[in-house]
Copies of this chain bind each other. A is one copy, B any other.
Amino acid sequence: MARTDTRQSRPSTETVRVADRIHSAAIRLLRHLRVADTTTGLSAPRLSALSVVVHAGQIAIGALARAEQVRAPTVSRLVKALERDGLVTRTRSPEDERVQLVRATARGRRVLVGGRRRRVGALAAAIDALPRAERSALSRAATVLLRMDL
């Protein structure tokens, strides 16, 4: 290692080390939780789309395509599948008759939050076994991570 790196243009080796450990921790965490919950039966693209819809309340096909970084026909098909499964409904916008507003059904919301609840539950059980100091370390880190712009 070549002396101390204090250039502001490049992260210090210590920062890189922290980044690496956070990265590993996030990967490990989500992998374990995913294994713990395969019960939604939805593919990743569908789950992601549903998540955006639920979060947005209601959203047009085009906006959803932009959010998911895919083309409109792809979303059109995704939404059709979600609709077939009774997870979303669509209605024409009253202001602009061209746009289709997609909304989650109660069942769609249940599927999403149910899966989330199971994953979070597994994680919470593990966190619950930690000493108080470590729990609050996690809490502080979550605050920092959620505020980061990236």
Binding site for B on A (CB under 8 A): 11-12, 15-16, 18-30, 32-33, 35, 44, 69, 116, 119-128, 130, 134-135, 137-146, 148-150
Contacts and interface: CB of A to CB of B under 8 A. Distances in A.
Q: How many copies of this kind of chain does the complex include?
A: 2
Contacts of A137: 137, 140-141, 144
A126 to B, nearest CB: 5
A142 B29 contact: no
The secondary structure that dominates the A interface is helix
A55 B85 CA distance: 39
A28 B135 contact: no
Given A21-B139, A29-B22, A29-B150, A134 B144 contact: yes
